[in-house]
Structure 1
């Protein structure tokens, strides 16, 4: 993997981010010009009223998330992010390629382990990963699919190039917010779509259900599919309920299932119905108290035995986390070459593997200009951004790196691209496209979820850290461009100024 050490010059700690809405001259980029015209024509008061109505509707419908123990309305900015058809074609092809390679790696590492025998990836790194599950070695799903749903996190560097930040192959979340964002746009802000032909994302639930049904055990023609949730107190429960409802399948908790005789059943007041596919939203460690954590109250005892018997499929497969371990993930370009014989279509954020003492020493000496992440972390937890960390935080982190270097990776601070919001702020954004593997083909939902930072300059954009989101548009081929004069751009700036000024009549 190519690793580029940050410059040590005093003015080069972080490059200027790529602005997705404005070009270098401060003019609206062509793809946004019609949107700018529409925003200007609507006016600040109307947009403010609709924003309040949107928040009230989200609160009523439970479009919320858990932020530091408080249930809050998930922040949504109505100014969409727009991707051209050509840009999306490249992204989707790169995502499909990664999924194919990661599927091959998981099949190999839980089977023959040829890539380890060939010394392509150090065996010790894989076997010591906290997400490598020896309990499922040799267990192969009916149709060979382990990554039924994946979310590939992309960021845009200072040049506007999309780079892979990390893969999410365990229980990737967030698609419900992307779907609801589109619903909000079409119902609350339909005028914004004027002049644009945007790819639909409405088929995601049916695509997911078809992939789950296709993964059923051999010989099952009409499988019973359920969505397994930890319960209503889980931070992503809105998504669990939303997807189950859209797919028309039962939403179940662990107490609703029972495994007996190598089979899994859905409890019922009349009789027990056999379950063939479980779309689980519970982490591996808690999934089966017999196979994993015996103290887990969220698991279904005997589930892994039933999976080994081939009577039930668990989606996503148990053990996928070894492939989205942030250290092992640095070998994905190598996996693409090893398994597919291809060159990566998407580049990756340069990453420092802390398996060399000299590398560890250099990273410790430059912590104030790097991002350090736990290899098994998720949701932005444990991430330390050197430019904003305190001296005490950096000192403590240096001690952790000396003691347990294999638990971390380090990356140069990428200036995530920014996107303007309705209130005029420029927030850092990333993109999580969602891919569904049907076995014979991989479908990528056009657009995915754009996440925004909670405030200007904040690089961690996870919702668990207070971030929000935008609707993400992928334009269909043939979208026309409507030129916008500088006078219209001035009107947009005036709308921003009006929104920043409190308007009692609009907020009562």
Structure 2
């Protein structure tokens, strides 16, 4: 038995004992729970319900889930969710919310009821994400070289070249295979008709893959029979693929790879340590690295060793105090010089942020046509550029109907959801838009799809999104068949970010013909 399995078995045993002792805490009779399932199936929801409304599924996987749920009381399911929480705590799978005075680390809520995606649907998602990332990498190469898309007027030149994430140091610097974003996270939602849309692109330091992998481990341990019954596509090969992709981007054979973390106080530190461990590469901070004669080295017990690939998990501004922020203690002096001499690969490349800005997002469809000569497989959400007077006028007139986001924002911060906002919030955002319109974009309030989710009151529908992870090298693009499904745990909420109270679900890609 593996050490991790033993730990989880002990946790499950403990939680099972506690659940028996708390048997009156939740509705726990089979009859009552079957009634709860029946009520859920009778929902006449205004939203696209992925378990009940998805016509592309054969229904076998959905029926398997429903049968499994009917065989377990609410008390049983809450005990399983408690087991997942205990596992996350035991393994240190936590995150910190910046700005909280108490600085308490939290475990992300895990919902035991999985999200199911048919393999046919997944193929569309996978092809669409791959197409999108290829175009974005070509866009990054172009804006740091010939700038043809800017000269053609397809993307506004001033909007790119004055962007705070645009790095002049990268101009004229060619990368192997024109790959700037080796690891990309594409956020996808479904609307009320079940159609897929890309909500945003994450090309800088996309996070969350550790939750995807740990969520699957939990599912296989808590629901082994159900997992086997549905023949779920595997995702556990992701760390191996990530290491291979990073190696393929290197300029040497058998490269030395490290994961560079800001340190254990970073909100995603667990993921940094997790990926380094799973890839079997060193996890380092700036104190472990140094540059000499334009080459990067890591200090080891056997002396220094040259580093060829740095998977960095810190922002551009902190990479090199000699090139960017001089007060940074998180970066490595001289690292950019070694990088520009092609003696080390930094993944993702400095300057990728200009391509995942929300104000650049509306042009991705045109990038796909310009660079690939193809029609976009996945749709963009209609977007209003508040920097454009016509769009700004519309947004100000319809603020209570729209979602307004900071172009550089992330984590669900700095946004306004018009239909849920009070008059004071609307007035405050109106002032922000008038003062600095170029910092914001706006989109219609989408009716995000919902999935059955366990709540204190029983099984209810909650809004979800999906983040597939795209790995890119000069030779191939890889996407494991599954992604991070985030769920808005609060009733009626559209914000799925963990920092805003969101949780996660395991994502099951199944062959609907054989599930």
Q: Normalized against structure 1, the TM-score is what?
A: 0.88
- 1:305 and 2:340 are equivalent in the alignment: no
Q: Is the 8 A contact 2:469 2:483 kept in 1?
A: yes
CA RMSD for the aligned pairs?
1.7
Unpaired segments ≥5 residues, structure 2: 1-44
Find the residue that maps to 2:48 and give its secondary structure.
Answer: coil
Q: Is the 8 A contact 1:98 1:332 kept in 2?
A: yes
Residue 295 of structure 2 corresponds to 263
Q: Is the 8 A contact 1:38 1:191 kept in 2?
A: no
Deviation per CA, 1:175-216: give whole Å up to 9, x if none. 110000000000122233253111100110011000101111
Alignment of 1:384-399 (within 5 A): 384-399=416-431
Q: Which stretch shifts more, 327-336 or 385-394? A: 385-394
Distance 1:38 1:169 in 2: 38
Residue 215 of structure 1 corresponds to 249
Residue 498 of structure 1 corresponds to none
Residue 484 of structure 1 corresponds to none
Q: Is the 8 A contact 2:108 2:503 kept in 1?
A: yes
Residue 463 of structure 1 corresponds to 498
Residue 17 of structure 1 corresponds to 47
- 1:377 and 2:412 are equivalent in the alignment: no
What displacement does 1:20 show?
1.3
Find the residue that maps to 2:200 and give its secondary structure.
Answer: strand
Select which of 63, 77, 83 maps to 1:53: 83
Distance 1:24 1:106 in 2: 37
Find the residue that maps to 1:358 and give its secondary structure.
Answer: helix
Select which of 265, 271, 282 maps to 1:239: 271
Select which of 118, 139, 158 maps to 2:192: 158
Q: Is the 8 A contact 1:163 1:347 kept in 2?
A: yes
Distance 1:422 1:397 in 2: 34
| Structure of greater relative contact order (alpha carbons < 8 Å, 6+ residues apart) | 1
Distance 1:350 1:16 in 2: 21
- 1:186 and 2:216 are equivalent in the alignment: no
Q: Which stretch shifts more, 275-284 or 255-264? A: 255-264
Select which of 426, 441, 446 maps to 1:414: 446
What displacement does 1:54 show?
2.3
Q: Is the 8 A contact 2:138 2:178 kept in 1?
A: no
Distance 1:258 1:379 in 2: 32
Q: Is the 8 A contact 1:142 1:313 kept in 2?
A: no
What displacement does 1:43 show?
3.2
Find the residue that maps to 1:154 and give its secondary structure.
Answer: strand
Deviation per CA, 1:116-141: give whole Å up to 9, x if none. 11211110111122211112222222
Residue 435 of structure 1 corresponds to 470
Aligned residues: 462
- 1:88 and 2:118 are equivalent in the alignment: no
Residue 226 of structure 1 corresponds to 258
What displacement does 1:258 show?
0.6
Unpaired segments ≥5 residues, structure 1: 1-14, 481-508
Distance 1:44 1:398 in 2: 45
What displacement does 1:477 show?
6.2
What displacement does 1:269 show?
4.6
Find the residue that maps to 2:50 and give its secondary structure.
Answer: coil
Residue 390 of structure 2 corresponds to 358
Q: Is the 8 A contact 1:208 1:436 kept in 2?
A: yes
What displacement does 1:270 show?
4.4
Distance 1:312 1:65 in 2: 30
Q: Is the 8 A contact 2:489 2:503 kept in 1?
A: yes
Q: Is the 8 A contact 2:61 2:512 kept in 1?
A: no
Find the residue that maps to 1:155 and give its secondary structure.
Answer: strand
Residue 289 of structure 1 corresponds to 321
